[in-house]
Amino acid sequence: MAVVEVRDLHKVYDGAQQAALGKINLATEEGEYLVLVGPSGCGKTTLLRTIAGLEQPTAGEVLIGGEVVNGLPPRARQIAMVFQSYALYPHKTVFGNIEFPLKASRIDRPERERKVRWAAELLGLTRLLDRRPRQLSGGERQRVALARALVRDPAVFLLDEPLSNLDAKLRTSARDELKRFQAEIGTTTVYVTHDQTEAMGLGDRIAVLSDGAVRQIGSPSEVYDHPADTFVATFIGSPPMNLVPSGDRLVGFRPEHLLPEEDVPGSDRVTVPFAVDRMENLSGDRHIYGTVTGIGEPTRVIARLPTTVTTPITVGESHAFAVAADRLRFFDTDPDSGRRAEPVRLEA
């Protein structure tokens, strides 16, 4: 049974022309880490808040634990939420913050204390229990927010971009901690972010949203290797997938699959002349910018060569590159597009 399910969810804000969410259908699997990812304004936060009960849908249903929860306030939904700003109560100690949700559940004091200490220990906060939020670092505040969410024993965790307030350096280790934490607790989690790297790193499944609609849901590798449309193809992956117009289609291939001819083994491939005009050296990989011809119209693309590929490349010259045929993806040229079957073309 899906822990969180959304059926035909539709949301329009008063006075708005466009729907914030248009007919969304989504269901989580038990214990999974589902990431909602998309650019700003795509509706991912609206969706999260609607699940939480902080926004009311215009139409459609939200189900938690199999029960329709429309009309119920957040506190009756068995959820816990971590806000982007963490929303810690500044006038309470860390202990007080974590304890607060338990007070509403009418649990007696000794039991409350036990639970708070349990949560604090799980998140390494035991020696910080007497501090106030303003005395804590960003990472510590995030852990307090998590402890506060954990202590209610919810059916689902909802997290709204909790890493965006951290320094870039801190973000990677925080991401790691989050994932391990969730694996240990095992509670279903719905996580919102605009950062596709974060999404790829954290999610068991990713839902890519844009303009209030879910473009694709799948595991990170599914979404990466088999994007449902050009939006997903260019949003996921950094640098984004190259798209070359060719006839009535767009031909797509990832930068790491555009390699010098001699490094693409096998006969089932397409060779293309690649006029190189710029090269960047990033973390050992070489990012090569240039124009390809021969697939379709001449288009500016990026090639990403890992360190294992040592073929020398000179800026300003044209090299023979190739893409393995099974790495080609095809999309139709309509702005909202899907995939099509592929005509195979060979290159002289």
Binders of another protein among residues 149 to 188 (CB under 8 A) are 152-153, 155, 185, 187
Smaller CB separation from another protein, 44 or 249: 44
Under the criterion CB under 8 A, does residue 52 sit at the interface with another protein? yes
Q: Give me the 98-117 binding string for another protein, x by CB under 8 A, dash otherwise.
A: --xx-xxx------------
Under the criterion CB under 8 A, does residue 136 sit at the interface with another protein? no
Tokens of 324: 């393995």
Binders of another protein among residues 248 to 287 (CB under 8 A) are none
Looking up tokens 């693409």, which residue turns up? 264
Residue type, 90: P
CB 187 within 8 A of CB 157: yes
Under the criterion CB under 8 A, does residue 69 sit at the interface with another protein? yes
Under the criterion CB under 8 A, does residue 148 sit at the interface with another protein? yes
Nearest CA to 67 out of 58, 77, 57, 75 is that of 77
> What crossing angle do the helices spanning 109-122 and 94-104 adopt, rounded to 10°?
130
Q: Tell whether the torsion through CA atoms of 121, 124, 128 and 134 is positive or negative.
A: negative
What is the distance of C-alpha 304 from the center of its chain? 22
Residues 18, 25, 85, 173: which binds another protein (CB under 8 A)? 85
Under the criterion CB under 8 A, does residue 80 sit at the interface with another protein? yes
Q: In angstroms, what is the minimal distance from the CB of 98 to another protein?
A: 10
Binders of another protein among residues 182 to 221 (CB under 8 A) are 185, 187
Smaller CB separation from another protein, 72 or 309: 72
Under the criterion CB under 8 A, does residue 132 sit at the interface with another protein? yes
DSSP labels for 80-147? EEE-TT----TTS-HHHHHHHHHHHTT--HHHHHHHHHHHHHHTT-GGGTT--GGGS-HHHHHHHHHH
Under the criterion CB under 8 A, does residue 134 sit at the interface with another protein? yes
Which residues are near another protein by CB under 8 A? 52-54, 64-81, 83-85, 87, 89-91, 100-101, 103-105, 132, 134, 148, 152-153, 155, 185, 187
